[in-house]
Structure 1
Amino acid sequence: MNYEKIILTLLVASSFLATAQETEDTGTFTLSGTVDVYGTTNFTNAPGTPGILIANPENANAFGLGFANTVFAYEKGKAGVVADLAFGPRADDANLAGAINQLYAYYNVSDKVTLTAGQFNTFLGYEVINPSANFNYTVSYLFNAGPFSHTGIKMNYAASEDLSFMLALTNAHALSSADGNAADATQFGAQIGYKGQYLNFISGAIDDASAKDYIFLDYTGGFDLSDSFYVGLNAAYVNSNNDDAGYYGAALYLQNKFSDKFSLGLRPEIFTATSGAGDSSVTAFTVTSNVNLTSNLKFITDLRFDNSDDYIIEAFPTEKSVTALTIAAVYSF
């Protein structure tokens, strides 16, 4: 795939649309994106950082590139399209189709109903692929277990300002554009949202070779306990009886905003992988600071402590405990 031609074509299209918007009402075009880089180290005798979200987290050491993405969005009348192109090691670990993080079209049937078709980021979990939207830079074990994105169709229904529903029919989430789907590996998804609390459900296969009885149950939400203190929660349960596999776990997101420029948070997490051979557990505690240098640029510092008597710390299969320090610069536009 020629990524340079794709980018050039989109840039030319964006220039044309921006010019046309000045002369006549053709719709609304927006351009946004993020770039991040990081430095990381740990206190063992080998490189690596758990939760760094790259293809080879065992190689993470010193300085590294994270994620560069550009989001092109155009809407006219009731319909629109979003093209989210992402590059870099973090994108390579999450994208399903080359440089494409998200690519979908949508149609607003009414003020309450929206239909979407294409590839879109998952509705499960508290964290997302894009680091600019996360408080922590390294990701939780729950998020790392996936899914990251889905390819298919979904319908969103906003019953009121507080209550929403979603239904989805997609490919198995581990299928990329290079994979076949001879086994008809699909998933049915659903979501109920109420006042910022979301209950998510998926049923089906996870890839072309897996059993089709996987069940995903996921809760994501949070509460403002004061003007400055916030508590978020993600809890999930996944299981397949036929594959005798799954996982469950929970993560808390405790965050306090001390000023417009500085926030401090703690993310405690417990994660257990299940199988016929026995369960394996890991705990992780991440202390994170966010420093906003400007409205576009922030520094995220993660001091992370992972512990597992079952030797399932990501990137460290021979260690029972690992401490890692990561400092990332994230720019958004």
Structure 2
Amino acid sequence: MKVITNSKLTKFLLLAAVVLSSSYTYAQEEMDEEMGVEEASNWTLSGSVDAYFRANFNGLNKIEYNEDGDPIAGPEAPASSFANDPGFALGMANVILGYEGSKVGFVADLVFGPRGEEAVFNSIGSSNIVNQLYVYYNVNDALTLTLGNWNTFLGYEVISPAANFNYSTSYMFSFGPFSHTGLKADFNFNDNWTGMLAIMNPTDYTEFNPFGKYSFGGQLGYSNDSGSAFLNLLYGEQSPLSDEATFQIDLTTGWDLSDAFYLGFNTTYADTDGTGFYGAAIYPQLQTSDSFAIGLRAEYFKELDNDFNEAIVYGDDVEALDFTLTGSYTVGNLIIKPELRLDSISEDVFLDSDLNRNDNLSSFLIAAIYAF
């Protein structure tokens, strides 16, 4: 009888523990819901690391010195951001921490390394690690408000090498903008149409606004199961050196024309009282197997005036053609990208190995990107 009694007591205690535990869990869930506390599964951690090897076929690959030991010329590269260093070189480490609640959330996107430094080159007082940093509030299914620093909504290419098909970047992307800091409102009109309005600091001044000037952004987007198209606008005073407003209009689109063939297109025009640029590029891509794809970027780019960008441009009214052929081989989370690139410029801007100037530069690189 004693054994039976102990067994019944044990079952009773176990049942009571289960009931109390369930009651506590239910009460805790109700309390968390009332207080807006979300589950740990709403936290995300993602990012990438990348490195590459690059060499010119008909240009300098090292620093040249004169008889006195002073440098007179350096490795040649197109005036296009990222992947321009010779030999074995580093890209960046990118770590993105995010939290997505039912109503609110944030993104903290940090970058380390040369590519990351270029991405935030104009941040006043920056330690060159913050790529994006913003909080957002889902007011309802149709409206989201975002405050902070986010990567630009203009253009086809982005800062992260894991999100681009080509490893090197286009002239249109490199001439910017890169990032904005401000307040934006994203609208979902229906399943296909979206919109965005924003008020922002001058372009790429992401830490704070030292000039008391602001710019405005807008976007109208359409998407379906086959692809998307976005019309982007930017207007406002971007430079402390000029009271003239910058106007930029940009169209970015891409469509799956079949299960294996994709075609992207980007065109942009930017003008600040005669200073600016315009261009267009197509991005055909062919998926040949589950692990390999090949794609081309064919870009035309023309500078207008260069009053505010003398360090990174070729000159007034100079035209550039960029043909970049990229392979993409995926092994798990690792992406290997061999790439051939030809830049042809309307002026003799490149130095060859004999220190003679010519109008074209051909190069090769192979990059490795690990995305998580």
| TM-score (norm. length: structure 1) | 0.86
RMSD in angstroms over aligned alpha carbons?
Answer: 2.4
**Worse-superposed segment, 250-259 or 95-104:** 95-104
> What is the rounded CA distance, in whole Å, between the counterparts of 2:157 and 2:349 in structure 1?
21
What residue number does 1:12 align with? Answer: none
2:67 maps to 1:53: no
244, 259, 274: which is aligned to 1:227? 259
* Contact 1:189/1:202, CA 8 A, preserved across alignment: yes
Instruction: Give yes or no for the alignment of 1:301 onto 2:338.
Output: yes
Structure 1 residue 174, shift from structure 2 partner:
3.3
Greater radius of gyration (CA): 2
Give distance in 1, aligned partners of 2:56 and 2:337: 16
Give me the whole-angstrom Cα distance separating, in 2, the residues matched to 1:288 and 1:329: 13
AA matched with 2:270: V
- Partner of residue 214 from structure 2, selected from 183, 186, 192: 186
Q: 2:44 aligns with which of 30, 36, 40?
A: 30
Distance in 1 (alpha carbons) for counterparts of 2:292 and 2:272: 43
In structure 2, what residue type is equivalent to 1:41? A
Identity of aligned residues (%): 40
* Letter of the 1:326 counterpart: L
Does the 8 Å CA contact 1:158/1:165 hold for their aligned counterparts? yes
**Preserved CA contact (<8 Å) 2:180 2:201:** yes
Number of aligned pairs? 304
Secondary structure of 1:133's aligned partner: coil
Distance in 2 (alpha carbons) for counterparts of 1:41 and 1:278:
28
Normalising to structure 2: TM-score of the pair? Answer: 0.77
1:248-267 matches, cutoff 5 A: 248-267=278-297
CA shift digits 1:197-218 (9 cap, x unpaired)? 0000000122222333210000
3-state SS in 1 of match to 2:184: strand
Contact 1:231–1:255 (Cα < 8 Å) also in 2: yes
Q: Is 1:123 paired with 2:188?
A: no
Instruction: Find the partner of 1:284 among 322, 328, 331.
Output: 322
SS in 2 for 1:250: strand
Partner of 1:44: 58
Runs of 4+ in 1 over 6 A off after TM superposition: 313-317
The letter of the residue matching 1:118 is G
Q: CA deviation at 1:278?
A: 4.4
- Displacement of 1:129 in angstroms is 0.1
Structure 1 portions without partners, runs of 5+: 1-20
Look up the match of 2:305. 275
Contiguous gaps of at least 5 residues in structure 2? 1-28, 62-75, 307-314
Quick one: distance in 1 between partners of 2:221 and 2:151?
Answer: 17
